[in-house]
Amino acid sequence: MSKGIKVALAGNPNVGKTTLLNHAAKTNLKVGNWAGVTVEKKEGYLNYKGYEIHFIDLPGVYTLEPISEDEWIAYNFIAEEKPDVIVNVIETTNAERDLLLTTELLEFGIPMIIALNMSDEASRMGIEVDAKHTSELLDVRVVRTNGRNGDGVQELLDKIIECADQPTSPKKIMYSEQVEASLAALQDIDPNGAPDKRALLARLTDGNGENLEKQKLEKFFKKDIKSVIKDERYAFAHGFYNEVFRRKKNGARDITDRIDKVVLHPIFGFIIFLFVIFMLFKISFDFSTPFMDWTEGLINNLFAPLVLSLLSNVGAGKWLPEFFSQAIVGGVGFVITFVPLIGMIYFLLAILEMSGYMPRIAFIMDRFMHKLGLHGKGMIPLLLGFGCNVPAVMATRTLENKRDKLLVMAMIPFMSCPARLVVFSFFAVLFFVHPAVIIFGLYILGIAIGLLTAFFLRKTAYRGSLSHFVMELPPYRIPRLRTVLQIVWVQVKSFLYRAGTVIFAASVVIWILLNTPPNIKNQSDSAAAYVGKAITPVLAPIGIKDWRISTSLIPAFLAREIVLSSMGTIYSVDIQNKNTDFHFLPELENQLKQLGLATRDGFESLVTPGLQSMQIEEGNQGLRNVIRSSFTAASALSFMIFLLLYTSCLATVAVMAREGGKKFAFFFLAYSFAIAWSVAFIVYHIGMLI
Amino acid sequence: MVSLKEIFSKTDDKGSVTKETGRLSEGKKTLKELKVGETAQIVGFTKQSETVQKVEAMGLRPGKKIRIMQKLGRGILVKTSNSRIVITSDVAKNIEVK
């Protein structure tokens, strides 16, 4: 049996704890470059030299005098769960600030390792640390690490094992003579022997009424006891910094200030922001379109015929090939074609986050957000919402004020995510001459409804003054391609996982319902049609009169993109299977050639200005043609609006319930349905007039 | 080699100077009044609050030299040592500088 070691990673926000964990445990965790991205407890396991090391990545905090939620999480973990080893990660370039937390961590008496992270940046800036001296002074182990390339991680792991084998309590900091004397006095009167220093300190500060030592100290220092202790900790950190850190005069100039001169310029900064957002959308759409087309071809021209020909070779009956082409290719396969788009959006958002630009957006946009009664920091969850609403809702935890938090949370679901884009790009291309304009319009509509919701809430439920903000801007860093790709892979994996589970299950259920009772002549006599017809009266006023569409909306509450896979399953029943000649090798060769072309097109699209993807395509799919026959332009638009605004996503509703309470989530769901229905109704009826 | 005790006595950190009066001492100004590019030294806080505690923990401490890097709306970007901290003017007006 291997020995387990529980290791807590503690440090200020944005010092690279999670990146170090990624190097150590090789787990794929989310890494960001803005203060407070690690709002959740993240864990990683590693078997190393016969030990099972269990890492817990604590939220980044500046102090263990807990006020905010993050700080409480970190404090409670260390105080109550008592890890075997604390790894205190320090951003070497910012050590003076980081050492306050170190000072507080020392008092827990848990064996500690100080990881001097970003050591490369530090040496470039001419900052030197006397690691040996640090180790001797505090009785802790010290290791230099570099989160960017993983240098020092091996040494860190070795030191963790050393720590677990020969645990040594670090030295506790010494307070001023007066405080130490009071602590000694408290210890003397304790009948139960010697409690640790932290307990004594707690007794000194918390003691109310008959606390002579407290009164004595407050009288001496002329301030309250908590300030005395706090100030002395700061003083210690400051003195310690001067003792072991040296700063050479001729270190390289920091490039961040020079970049910020332009990026945070009152005018250019805003122009750059608009440009960045434009590029975010342009690259995600234009670059991924050729790859989406390629994926579609791969599934429909290579994978599907291959399986079908195999099935007919083994003499499968009638229903198995039918099930395969309708439920699997029509349902799951269709959704998979959107993987390139989703991957690209996450790729770009990860770059924004890791480069350090994301928190700057909060600073630039606060001017405007503030006018709308919102918090600049709220901009980050809103932007993340364009990637996926679920992490966006979780990111609202960085907002200190409950009111700001709920306001932003009520806006996030209106930020259109790739799952909705999947549906939009399908319908917009089918029914409109300028699909890009329609899609852009839908994004704007979502934002407008979000703002209106916030405005409405501010006038009613969430009145009150606007909270101030305090936020750190990290230095600019060039994101590591490997780490960015890791993040993208995590997201794509979860999308594929959903395709393989929830979407697959939904497709199968719908297919079964479509074929129940068995041997029906007409699809409209099936169980699926029965269910769809039952809810059609609710949706008919907004132009959704076809049972096939209302049926596909039901499972879409699990996730919006299911609406397409369901339609794919339902409609593909109507599509004739084309029985063309299929030869595996030539087709494989063709697909590889197509991939080359797609890559060329993708890169070409990057150098052409303007958004150009989503121009009308040939109706290359039977599905497109049949769907075209059951919608009009007006009902298609109304359908898209309904899907945009209605929070048709179980995961989002669940995370809203967790973060904002069940009542909040339920009301919001009802509200979003009402607003989606109303806007769709208006648009549909205006559309009918035109 | 110094001991931990000596480190403490050698420090020049003055600790937070809080004036509960809510008023500035004469001849002093607040961080809010500084212009972009100006440097100053933090003297103390005119009001204690959780936000002030957080700002202190982030590195804006009495005695620290600061430089105003940018001002956008109510936001002020302050640089101290190697950190860049954005605070809003309602926080900055409680920070006394010289």
- All domains of chain B in start order, with CATH: 14-97 (2.30.30.90)
Residue A207 has pLDDT above 70, yes or no: no
Distance between CA A484 and CA A351 in Å, rounded?
7
d(CA A65, CA A227): 11
Contact A173 B4 (CB under 8 A): yes
Both tokens of residue A104? Answer: 């507080």
Mean pLDDT, chain A, integer = 82
User: Long-range contacts of range A321-329, CB-CB < 8 Å, 24 or more positions apart?
Assistant: A321/A577, A323/A511, A325/A572, A325/A577, A326/A511, A326/A569, A326/A572, A326/A573, A327/A507, A327/A508, A327/A510, A327/A511, A327/A569, A328/A504, A328/A507, A329/A299, A329/A300, A329/A303, A329/A304, A329/A572
Distance from C-alpha of A679 to C-alpha of B5, rounded to nearest angstrom: 69
- Three-state SS string over A409-424 comes to HHHHHHCCCHHHHHHH
- Share of chain B residues as helix, strand and coil, in percent rounded to the nearest 5: 20, 35, 45
Tens-place pLDDT, residues A211-220 = 777 778 888 8
Query: What pLDDT is recorded for position A449?
Result: 95
At A610, is the pLDDT very low, low, confident or very high (cuts 50, 70, 90)? low
Residues of A in contact with B1 (CB under 8 A): 133, 136
CA distance A415 to chain B (A): 25
Residues in chain B, how many?
98
A:91-120 residues touching chain B, CB 8 A cutoff: 93-94, 96-97, 100
Helix or strand (DSSP H, E) at A576: none
User: Which DSSP category does A285 fall into?
Assistant: I
Confidence label for A112 from pLDDT (cuts 50, 70 and 90) = very high
CA distances from A224 to A220, A230, A250, A369, B94 (A): 10, 10, 42, 38, 19
Longest dimension (CA), chain A: 95
Q: Which residue has the tokens 């860093």?
A: A477
Residues of chain B with pLDDT under 50: 1
Nearest CB to A235; choose among B15, B59, B84? B15
Is B85 close to A470, i.e. CB distance below 8 A?
Answer: yes
Let me know: does A288 contact A344? Beta carbons within 8 Å. Answer: yes
DSSP letter (8 states) at residue A574: T
Burial A302-315 (b: 16+ CB within 10 A, else e): bbbbeebeeeeeee
Q: Tokens standing for A332?
A: 């799951």
Of A163 and A491, the one with more pLDDT = A163
Sheet strand arrangement including A470-473: A470-473, B83-88, B75-80, B65-72, B39-45, B95-97, B29-30
Q: What is the DSSP string of A30-49?
A: ---SSTT---S-EEEEEEET
In words, the CATH class of domain A177-247 is mainly alpha
Q: Is the pLDDT confidence value at A272 over 90? A: yes
Angle between helix axes A357-371 and A255-263 (nearest 10 degrees) is: 30
Name every residue whose Cβ is closer than 8 Å to that of residue A611 and which is 6 or more positions away in sequence.
A281, A282, A285, A286, A436, A440
Strands (E), chain B: 29-30, 39-45, 65-72, 75-80, 83-88, 95-97
Model pLDDT, residue A686? 92
Return the closest-CA partner of residue A255 out of A93, A482, A62.
Answer: A93
Res A647: pLDDT? 84
pLDDT band at A568 (very low <50, low <70, confident <90, very high): confident
Q: Among the listed ranges A15-19, A329-333, A540-544, B74-78, which one has the minimum average pLDDT value?
A: A329-333
Q: Tell me which chain A residues have a C-beta less than 8 angstroms from the C-beta of B81.
A: 94, 96-97
pLDDT digits (tens, 9 = 90+) for A23-52: 887 755 554 443 444 455 677 888 888 898
pLDDT, position A143: 93
Residue from A69, A659, A672 nearest A393 by CA: A659
Q: How many CB atoms lie within 10 A of CB A626?
A: 17
Distance (Å) from the alpha carbon of B75 to chain A's nearest alpha carbon: 7
Of A189, A219, A222, residue with least CA distance to A203: A189
Chain A's closest residue to B57, CA to CA, is: A62
Note the CATH architecture for domain A3-165: 3-Layer(aba) Sandwich (3.40)
Question: Of A70-74, A285-289, A478-482, A564-568, which one has max mean pLDDT?
Answer: A478-482
Under an 8 A CB cutoff, do B5 and A174 touch? yes
For A656, the token pair is 């809203």
- Would the pLDDT of A646 be above 70? yes
Q: Nearest chain A residue to B52 by CA: give it.
A: A470
For A106-120, A450-464, A515-529, which range has the lowest pLDDT when averaged over its residues? A515-529
What is the pLDDT at residue A575? 52
Mean pLDDT of A59-80: 83
Residue type at position A532: G
A250 vs A557, higher pLDDT = A557
3-state helix, strand, coil in chain A (%, to 5): 65, 10, 25
Q: What ranges in A540-661 are assigned the alpha helix state H?
A: 547-553, 562-572, 584-607, 622-630, 633-645, 650-660
State both tokens at A313. Answer: 């070779």
| Residues carrying CATH 3.40.50.300, chain A | 3-165
Indicate the residue of A65, A232, A366 with minimum beta-carbon distance to B75: A366
A606-665 residues touching B, CB cutoff 8 A: none
Mutation pick from B55, B70, B78, B87 vs chain A, by most beta carbons of A within 10 Å, is B70
Per-residue confidence band for A619, with pLDDT thresholds at 50, 70 and 90? very low
Q: Summarize the confidence of residues A97-105 as an average pLDDT.
A: 91
Q: Is A249 exposed, middle or buried (0-12, 13-18, 19+ CB in 10 A)?
A: exposed
Instruction: Specify the residue for token string 């359908």.
Output: A639
Phi, psi of A473 (to 5 degrees): -105, 120
Give me the interface pTM, i.e. the ipTM: 0.86
Over pLDDT 70: what percentage of chain A? 90
Partner residue opposite B8 with nearest CB, options A227, A235, A472: A235
Which string of DSSP letters, residue by residue, matches A337-352? TTHHHHHHHHHHHHHH
Contact B58/A62, CB-based, under 8 Å?
A: yes
Q: What is the CA radius of gyration of chain B?
A: 14
Residue A86: predicted pLDDT: 95
Whether residues A67 and B54 touch (CB distance < 8 A) is answered with yes
Query: Mutation test of the interface with chain A: which of B50, B72, B81, choosing the one with the most A Cβ atoms within 10 A?
Result: B72
Confidence of residue A613 (pLDDT cuts 50, 70, 90): low
